[in-house]
Amino acid sequence: MRCPFCGCVESRVIDSRSTDEGGAVRRRRECTACEKRFTTYEKLEESPIIVAKRDGSRQIFERGKILNGLIYAGGNRKIPLSVFEDLVDEVERELRNSFHHEVASDEIGQRVLAKLREIDEVAYVRFASVYHKFKDINDFREALKNMPKKES
Lowest-pLDDT choice from 4-8, 131-135, 146-150: 146-150
pLDDT digits over 51-108, tens only? 999 899 999 999 999 999 999 999 889 999 999 999 999 999 899 888 888 999 999 9
Q: What is the 3-state secondary structure (H, E, C) of the chain?
A: CCCCCCCCCCEEEEEEEEEHHHCEEEEEEEECCCCCEEEEEEECCCCCCEEECCCCCEEECCHHHHHHHHHHHHCCCCCCHHHHHHHHHHHHHHHHHCCCCEEEHHHHHHHHHHHHHHHCHHHHHHHHHHHCCCCCHHHHHHHHHCCCCCCC
Under the banding of pLDDT at 50, 70 and 90, the label for residue 16 is very high
